[in-house]
Structure 1
Amino acid sequence: MLDASRPVLIAGGGLAGLTTALAFAATGTAVRLFEAAPAFGEIGAGLQLSPNATHILDRLGVLPPLEPQLTRPSAVTLFDAATLRPLTAIPLGSGGEKRWRAPYVVAHRAAILDALLATARRNPLISIETGALVRDLVIGHDDVTLAFERGGSTQTADGAFLVAADGVWSGLRRFANGDRPVDSRFSGLTAWRTTLPIADAESLALPRVIDFGCVSTFLDPYAHLVAYPLAGGSALNLVAITRGGSAKKTWREADGRDVLDAFLRRLPQPLNGLARLSNWTRWPLYEAPADLTWVSHRFALVGDAAHALLPFAAQGAAMAIEDAAVLAASVQAAGADLDRGLQHYQEVRRRRLHQVRSRGRLNRLAWHAGGPVALARNLVFRLKGPEALAADLDWLYGWREPTRP
């Protein structure tokens, strides 16, 4: 256990930062978390959380208060976007929960953040400061001092080490990478997101092709569309992944819709009616460099700051949650040898992320396949069947956090 007089410092109050705070507090470790925004808020729409993540949230006390905002989809169903023909389905629901010992859930990103924040604020070991932008870090032999800007002045805070959870465009990566800025790379893909009340989705006749109790994915050589329920089933989340788009580092913009509209308009009815919606927002998709160093003396990266992923395996949030659990367990197990704990965290997480990236590349090939490759994909789906496809995910969804000392 770390010295309580020198808490763990965390930069970033998103999903990765708050989960890391809860994971360390669960080991009896004091935490100070610094969030740059003056108030907590989360842009975006829905998130899929697979069993490898939800069992951690359950242990940390986050899943029960989130329950009213959760939906537990019964399956992930894949369709040919051009014909709307179902290709296969991966069973989730009660059977998947029994298989992987935790539920597969979907929820609004804001609801997840609210549950994390409420749980953290109830924990006396966690101190949260908003409007505090971490600017610099001085790393000593057995402690760190960070400088943060708040209200126009610079203040300092001392701690045992710093966890950087400042996201895909992390400015703190440099402390593990020779003090050189390390930027994420634009993937050439854009995610378009919108959320519809169920009544609006019904008025568009979407129930004709979308089961609101499932995660539905429509595959096309140039793009794909994902739909799943939110807010306990009262809304429908829609995400379209297209090629191209602007690389501007900002969310919530709706410019450059030509590619999105071209994709949606060539879909069969009623999906082509989605092109008439005005509230699609653009999310440029960035990847962190694969050779990024995640730890150095008294410093660690977690979540997108360490390994921002493309969404083809729907594991971005889950990997951040896993990071938090593994980092806290590694540090606790290492005792006084903090650097050994940080190195262990990096080693085991790199192996895991390599597997997840490989699965994402396979999914990208399958989901955006055309011609003979698509025919081969469809044959594989038919030959394997739903149960075998579920078994192929045991290594991913059946992962459990390390046993804590």
Structure 2
Amino acid sequence: MQSRPVVIAGAGIAGLTAALAFARHGVRVRIRERSPVLEEVGAGLQISPNATRILDRLGVLDLVSAAAVRPEAVVLRDAATLVERARVPLGAAAERRWKAPYLVAHRADLQSALLARASQSPLIEIATGATVDTVEARADGLSVSVMQGGIVSHEQTGLFVAADGVWSDSRRLVGPHEKSRFSGELAWRTTIPVDSELGRQFAALTSLATVTTFLHPGFHLVAYPVRAGHAVNLVAFTPGTAIAEQWSGETDADALRRAMQGTSAALSRLVQEAGPWTVWPLHTVDPTRPWTSASGIVLIGDAAHAMTPFAAQGAAMAIEDACTLADAVVTASNMAASNMAAVLSQWEAARKIRVAKVARRGALNHFAWHASGPVALARNLFLRLKSPASLAADLDWLYGWTPPGWTPPEPPVGRL
């Protein structure tokens, strides 16, 4: 591990976190990013305590916190009546309970914070406009061919980490080339300034200091502050057909408005006047497929297990992957373990259990948020009987998680 750098494909959240995690152990890293410029991509995201405790250890939390917001609660509201159905305390309560903050931020702000820390490390080299072409197994490790500016170079490594996202080109390196699959859901995204008329309309619907999900059989809409509280991120989810195998595209919002039939007039008016809306087809990757190869190739983040965002854990799972991979590989190396295949296989098995549980929670959320008729009545009764503290306790397994070998947070004492 000390003689040759780890090579990482992708300078997104997963790749940059992995680079910082390896560098923390004194390992040199080379990041190869195919985009010529690291541009602002994506929209808002939620960074739960299981991820922020890792970002804190990597020296990133203070940077991203400057542009993030610590919401007071997660709130569920009926989209038709705007009645509050449930509330999970966050803010100071989250930090007491899970020993790390819950943040909401723009994806670009998190990536910028990771990039800033990575750029400060003498152990991390980042090249843009560099596309990984082939990765060949040799007796002494891996040979990675990289195309940059029309020139092909060959880099030797003992570990190649593919962090190149949901449309990963590297996925084929660990098994049959399986493309991502359209989930049947579209995400409609926009942001509105807090100090605008639309911002004031939104403030009349719910608190600007919370993560609010509006529940409806035909859609659900999640809203929360970003950009240090100067803007509100809106994202609505509806059934739909795939528009393209790409991140996003401008589209007419009529389909979204049709899905919102029966919602409150104020919420419908907000959606009508907000925009332009950018629609994202939600693609997933079969998490049961291989993530590693015996030769030293490993997939992390969306390249391995892209999931729907209904548990708000896509970024968090990528951050967990990166940290645990570095810890596992370096620990084994320090213990003179020579079987990289066994180390990666054990890491993969443990991560698959965790990711599968998170995916099940996301599927449950989607089912509950889109419930109608008797199922919706049962959901509302269940939520009415659950206290905020009880709802928070149901998330201890998710937000209280710590990487193996780390000191776990102390269990909460008393009431929130």
Q: TM-score range by the shorter chain?
A: over 0.9
Whether contact under 8 Å (2:33, 2:130) holds in the other structure is: yes
Question: How far off is 1:157 after superposition?
Answer: 1.4
The SS at the match of 1:270 is helix
| In structure 1, distance between residues paired with 2:145 and 2:199 | 53
Which residue pairs with 2:412 in the alignment? none
Q: Deviations over 1:342-390 (max 9, x none)?
A: 1121011011011101111111111111111111111110112211111
Q: Deviations over 1:133-159 (max 9, x none)?
A: 111111123311111221123222111
Paired residues for 1:1-400 under 5 Å: 2-4=1-3, 6-177=4-175, 180-200=176-196, 202=198, 205-255=201-251, 257-264=253-260, 266-273=262-269, 274-297=271-294, 298-335=296-333, 336-400=338-402
Moved more, 154-163 or 334-343: 334-343
Question: How far off is 1:173 after superposition?
Answer: 0.8
Q: Deviations over 1:169-198 (max 9, x none)?
A: 111111111xx3111110000001111110
| In structure 1, distance between residues paired with 2:49 and 2:148 | 38
Normalized against structure 2, the TM-score is what?
Answer: 0.93
The SS at the match of 1:39 is coil
Q: Which amino acid aligns with 1:286?
A: H
Report the CA distance shift for 1:366/1:174 in structure 2 as closer, same or farther (over 3 A): same
| In structure 1, distance between residues paired with 2:230 and 2:344 | 42
Q: Which amino acid aligns with 2:207?
A: D
Q: Deviations over 1:40-74 (max 9, x none)?
A: 12311111000000000000000112221010001
| In structure 1, distance between residues paired with 2:39 and 2:359 | 29
Give RMSD over aligned pairs.
1.5
Whether contact under 8 Å (1:264, 1:275) holds in the other structure is: no
Which residue pairs with 1:402 in the alignment? 404
Identity %: 48
| In structure 2, distance between residues paired with 1:203 and 1:346 | 44
Report the CA distance shift for 1:37/1:70 in structure 2 as closer, same or farther (over 3 A): same
Moved more, 251-260 or 346-355: 251-260
Report the CA distance shift for 1:207/1:404 in structure 2 as closer, same or farther (over 3 A): closer
Moved more, 55-64 or 332-341: 332-341
Question: How far off is 1:215 after superposition?
Answer: 0.2
Moved more, 245-254 or 308-317: 245-254
Moved more, 95-104 or 36-45: 36-45
The SS at the match of 1:296 is coil
Moved more, 147-156 or 388-397: 147-156
Moved more, 54-63 or 239-248: 239-248
Question: How far off is 1:404 after superposition?
Answer: 6.4
Question: How far off is 1:272 after superposition?
Answer: 1.2
| In structure 1, distance between residues paired with 2:197 and 2:119 | 36
| Structure 1, unaligned runs of 5 or more | none
Whether contact under 8 Å (1:145, 1:159) holds in the other structure is: yes
| In structure 2, distance between residues paired with 1:341 and 1:247 | 40
The SS at the match of 1:245 is coil
Question: How far off is 1:20 after superposition?
Answer: 0.5
Moved more, 343-352 or 140-149: 140-149
| Structure 2, unaligned runs of 5 or more | 408-416
Which 4+ residue blocks in structure 1 deviate beyond 4 angstroms? 201-204
| In structure 2, distance between residues paired with 1:345 and 1:256 | 44
| In structure 2, distance between residues paired with 1:169 and 1:355 | 23
Which residue pairs with 2:413 in the alignment? none
Q: Deviations over 1:268-294 (max 9, x none)?
A: 132112223331101100110132100
Normalized against structure 1, the TM-score is what?
Answer: 0.96
Moved more, 150-159 or 182-191: 150-159
Moved more, 105-114 or 249-258: 249-258
Question: How far off is 1:258 after superposition?
Answer: 2.8
| In structure 1, distance between residues paired with 2:345 and 2:26 | 21
The SS at the match of 1:311 is coil
| In structure 2, distance between residues paired with 1:278 and 1:27 | 45
The SS at the match of 1:351 is helix
| In structure 2, distance between residues paired with 1:141 and 1:299 | 14
Whether contact under 8 Å (1:251, 1:281) holds in the other structure is: no
Moved more, 290-299 or 301-310: 290-299
| In structure 2, distance between residues paired with 1:265 and 1:201 | 23
| In structure 2, distance between residues paired with 1:251 and 1:319 | 19
Matched residue count: 401
